[in-house]
């Protein structure tokens, strides 16, 4: 089993007195910047001209600079912009100002693993990848807790790159929950797989298919919503806290029997598809498709998101959302 690093395994020392440039101030960016600063680390935010996030970063009390200026001021440069714009930012605003005293950091390994960014050998390159949405990274930190994270060391020119990565993980609260060391390859491939087949893509497919099956069979959309979305959180909360066995302890015997029989049929159908999707990721086919999609201006991305935005489940959700047990009762902003 992998070693898990906790608070006592990490020290902030490698970052004390240093400046971290957070490039981007979105889901992860705002959380890292606020948590780092609350942990006593100096933070500057790098945002592009006309950034919609600038107001929020200024309201957060951060110095907001052009990316190149932020990089020149920083000892650690953390890329928290969309993955698809990182190579251009690197070329234009980071690479010209690199020297052995600076470190590059990422929250996802995509651009390093797929060679969209190839750093010079003389700089440290590490990853601190929270295994959860950015807003939870901040909310959990504020509650004295943390979101677990993965760390990876791609280049250790200084000889103490891992100490820097653990210090960064500690500063954003991840060592409160636990940190596991991985590689850029393993994080990239497992993260892409998980978000496509189990988390976002997988669970949305299950919810939509279930909801549509019931509605098309003539049941009320509100009832279908409760069965296929609302209650999902409650069941997943049980799994999160007590495991699958714990969830099964709490549900009825009737539900358990349906789970282990009909669930088995679904499992057998989807596992071969999951293996195909993992293969596409490992061969770089997904990465190539996503890079080309962005070069073309995201036509498929925008069309499919708009299609889902108009889905009946969204309309019903708007009507029933206030009945949902909020994760934290906070507003996504």
Ligand X SMILES: NC(=O)C1=CN([C@@H]2O[C@H](COP(=O)(O)OP(=O)(O)OC[C@H]3O[C@@H](n4cnc5c(N)ncnc54)[C@H](OP(=O)(O)O)[C@@H]3O)[C@@H](O)[C@H]2O)C=CC1
- Spatial CA neighbour of 288 closest among 91, 84, 79, 119: 84
CB–CB of 123/104 below 8 Å? yes
For position 195 contacting ligand X2X by CB under 6 A, the verdict is yes
Pick 163 or 280: Cβ nearer ligand X2X: 280
> Which of the listed partners (ligand X, ligand X2X, none) does 238 bind, with a CB threshold of 5 to 8 Å by partner kind?
none
Instruction: Please select the residue that binds ligand X2X; options are 20, 33, 191, 291, rule is CB under 6 A.
Output: 191
Which 61-100 positions form the footprint of ligand X2X (CB under 6 A)?
Answer: none
- Phi/psi-derived region of residue 219, left when phi > 0, alpha when psi is between -120 and 50, beta in every other case: beta
Which 126-165 positions form the footprint of ligand X (CB under 6 A)?
Answer: 129-130, 133-134
- The answer on whether 158 is annotated among ligand-binding residues is no
Q: How far is the CB of 137 from ligand X2X (least distance, A)?
A: 9
Q: Within a 10 A sphere around the Cβ of 331, how many other Cβ atoms?
A: 7
- Spatial CA neighbour of 103 closest among 81, 125, 128: 125
- The answer on whether 134 is annotated among ligand-binding residues is yes
> Which of the listed partners (ligand X2X, ligand X, none) does 25 bind, with a CB threshold of 5 to 8 Å by partner kind?
ligand X
Q: Is there a catalytic annotation at residue 32?
A: no
Instruction: Please select the residue that binds ligand X; options are 17, 40, 61, 82, rule is CB under 6 A.
Output: 82
SS (H, E, C) 74-133: CCEEEECCCHHHHHHHHHHHHHHHCCCCCEEEECCCHHHHCCCCCCCCCCEEEEEEECCC
Residue number of the CB atom closest to ligand X? 26
- Rounded to 5°, the CA angle 263-269-271 comes to 95
Instruction: Please select the residue that binds ligand X; options are 15, 20, 71, 89, rule is CB under 6 A.
Output: 89
How buried is residue 188: exposed, middle or buried, by Cβ count under 10 Å (0-12/13-18/19+)?
A: buried
Binding region for ligand X2X (CB under 6 A): 132-133, 191, 195, 199-200
User: What are the catalytic residues?
Assistant: 108
Binding site for ligand X (CB under 6 A): 23-29, 46-48, 51-53, 67, 80-83, 85, 89, 107-108, 129-130, 133-134
């Amino acid at each position: 089993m992998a070693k898990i690093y906790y608070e006592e395994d990490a020290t902030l020392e490698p970052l004390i007195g240093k400046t971290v440039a957070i490039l981007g101030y979105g889901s992860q960016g705002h959380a890292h910047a606020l948590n780092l600063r609350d942990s006593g680390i100096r933070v500057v935010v790098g945002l592009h001209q006309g950034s919609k996030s600038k107001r929020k970063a200024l309201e957060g009390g951060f110095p907001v600079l052009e990316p190149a200026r932020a990089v020149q001021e920083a000892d650690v440069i953390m890329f928290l912009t969309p993955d698809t714009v990182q190579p251009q930012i690197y070329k234009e605003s980071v690479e010209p100002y690199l020297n052995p005293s600076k470190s590059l950091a990422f929250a996802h390994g995509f651009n390093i693993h797929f060679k969209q960014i190839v750093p010079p050998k003389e700089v440290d390159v590490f990853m601190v990848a929270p295994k959860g949405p950015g807003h939870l990274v901040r909310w959990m930190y504020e509650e004295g807790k943390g979101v677990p994270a993965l760390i990876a060391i791609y280049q250790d020119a200084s000889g103490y790159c891992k100490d820097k990565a653990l210090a960064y993980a500690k500063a954003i609260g991840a060592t409160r929950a636990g940190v596991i060391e991985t590689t850029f390859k393993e994080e990239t491939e497992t993260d892409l797989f998980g978000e496509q087949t189990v988390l976002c893509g997988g669970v949305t497919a299950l919810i939509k298919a279930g909801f549509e099956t019931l509605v098309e069979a003539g049941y009320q959309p509100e009832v279908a919503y409760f069965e296929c979305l609302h209650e999902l959180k409650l069941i997943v909360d049980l799994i999160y806290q007590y495991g699958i066995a714990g969830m099964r302890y709490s549900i009825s015997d009737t539900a358990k029997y349906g789970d282990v029989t009909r669930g088995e049929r679904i499992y057998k159908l989807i596992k071969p598809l999951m293996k195909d999707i993992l293969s596409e990721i490992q061969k770089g086919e997904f990465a190539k498709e996503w890079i080309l999609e962005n070069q073309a201006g995201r036509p498929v991305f925008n069309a499919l998101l708009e299609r889902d935005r108009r889905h009946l489940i969204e309309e019903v959700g708007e009507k029933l959302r206030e009945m949902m047990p909020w994760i934290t009762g906070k507003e996504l902003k």
